[in-house]
Amino acid sequence: MKLGFIAMSGVRCQNAELLAIGLNLPGFVERSKVIASLPSLGLLTLAGMTPPDLDISYVEVPDIKNLDGLPGDFDAVAISSFSAQIREAYQLADRYRAAGVTVIMGGLHVTARPDEALQHADCIVIGEGEPVWPTVVADLLANRLQPRYDARPQRFDFAHSPMPRFDLLEIPRYNRLTVQTQRGCPYNCDFCGASIRLAPGFRAKPVPRVIDELLAIKDLWPHPFIEFADDNTFADRRRGRDLTRALIPLGLRWFTETDISVAWDDELLRLMKESGCAQILIGLESPDAASLNGVEHKANWKSHQANRYAEAIARIQDAGITVNGCFVLGLDHHDSSCFDRVFQFVRDTGLYEVQITVMTAFPNAPLYDRLAASNRLLSPEAWETCTLFDVNYLPANMSVATLENGFRDLGRQIYDSGFIEERRRRFFQRQDTIRRGLS
Ligand code: B12
Distance 231 CA to ligand 1 centre (A): 11
CB-ligand 1 contact for 319 (6 Å cutoff): no
From the number of C-beta atoms within 10 Å of its C-beta (0-12, 13-18, 19+), residue 210 rates as buried
CB-ligand 1 contact for 226 (6 Å cutoff): no
**Residues in the chain, overall count:** 439
Q: Which protein residue has the closest C-alpha to ligand 1 atom 74? A: 11
Distance 193 CA to ligand 1 centre (A): 10
* Spatial separation of the C-alpha atoms in residues 219 and 78, rounded to whole Å: 27
Task: Calculate ∠ Cα 146-182-268, nearest 5°.
Answer: 180
Instruction: Let me know: does 235 contact 258? Beta carbons within 8 Å.
Output: yes
Give 218's contacts (C-beta < 8 A, 6+ positions apart).
224, 250
Pairing of strands 76-81, 55-60: unpaired
Question: 277 has which bridge partners?
Answer: 254
CB atoms within 10 A of CB 274: 13
Distance from chain centroid for Cα 302: 19
CB-ligand 1 contact for 129 (6 Å cutoff): yes
CB-ligand 1 contact for 11 (6 Å cutoff): yes
Largest Cα–Cα separation, the chain: 71
CB-ligand 1 contact for 80 (6 Å cutoff): yes
Q: Which protein residue has the closest C-alpha to ligand 1 atom 65? A: 387
Instruction: Let me know: does 386 contact 87? Beta carbons within 8 Å.
Output: no
Instruction: Could you list the beta-strand ranges (E) of 205-352.
Output: 225-228, 253-258, 277-285, 322-329
Distance 186 CA to ligand 1 centre (A): 19
CB-ligand 1 contact for 78 (6 Å cutoff): yes
For residue 285, the number of C-alpha atoms closer than 13 Å in the C-beta half-sphere is 30
CB-ligand 1 contact for 50 (6 Å cutoff): no
Q: Which protein residue has the closest C-alpha to ligand 1 atom 23? A: 229
CB-ligand 1 contact for 107 (6 Å cutoff): yes
CB-ligand 1 contact for 125 (6 Å cutoff): yes
Instruction: Let me know: does 228 contact 178? Beta carbons within 8 Å.
Output: yes
Q: Which amino acid is at 434?
A: I
CB-ligand 1 contact for 151 (6 Å cutoff): no
Distance 426 CA to ligand 1 centre (A): 33
DSSP string, 294-308: TTBTTT-HHHHHGGG
* Spatial separation of the C-alpha atoms in residues 330 and 132, rounded to whole Å: 38
CB-ligand 1 contact for 45 (6 Å cutoff): yes
Q: Which amino acid is at 371?
A: L
2, 18, 130, 279 from 305: Cα distances, Å: 51, 31, 35, 20
Distance 232 CA to ligand 1 centre (A): 15
- Return the pLDDT at 23: 44
* Spatial separation of the C-alpha atoms in residues 291 and 237, rounded to whole Å: 27
CB atoms within 10 A of CB 248: 12
275, 300, 335, 424, 426 from 340: Cα distances, Å: 36, 24, 11, 21, 21
Domains of the chain, each with CATH number or no CATH: 2-21+39-150 (3.40.50.280), 176-435 (3.20.20.70)
* Spatial separation of the C-alpha atoms in residues 315 and 201, rounded to whole Å: 28
Distance 82 CA to ligand 1 centre (A): 6
* Spatial separation of the C-alpha atoms in residues 58 and 75, rounded to whole Å: 14
14, 106, 127, 281, 348 from 352: Cα distances, Å: 28, 36, 36, 11, 11
From the number of C-beta atoms within 10 Å of its C-beta (0-12, 13-18, 19+), residue 206 rates as middle
Instruction: Let me know: does 351 contact 423? Beta carbons within 8 Å.
Output: yes
CB-ligand 1 contact for 109 (6 Å cutoff): yes
CB-ligand 1 contact for 35 (6 Å cutoff): yes
- Return the pLDDT at 27: 56
* Spatial separation of the C-alpha atoms in residues 178 and 42, rounded to whole Å: 10
Rounded average pLDDT per 10-residue block, the chain, 439 residues? 92 80 53 67 98 95 81 95 96 96 98 98 98 98 98 89 96 92 95 93 95 97 95 97 98 96 98 97 96 94 95 98 97 98 98 96 96 98 95 98 96 92 97 87
Task: Calculate ∠ Cα 200-51-120, nearest 5°.
Answer: 60
- Return the pLDDT at 70: 87
Secondary structure class of 65 (helix, strand, coil): coil
CB-ligand 1 contact for 195 (6 Å cutoff): yes
Which run of H or E residues covers position 329? strand 322-329
- Return the pLDDT at 232: 97
Q: Which protein residue has the closest C-alpha to ligand 1 atom 28? A: 42
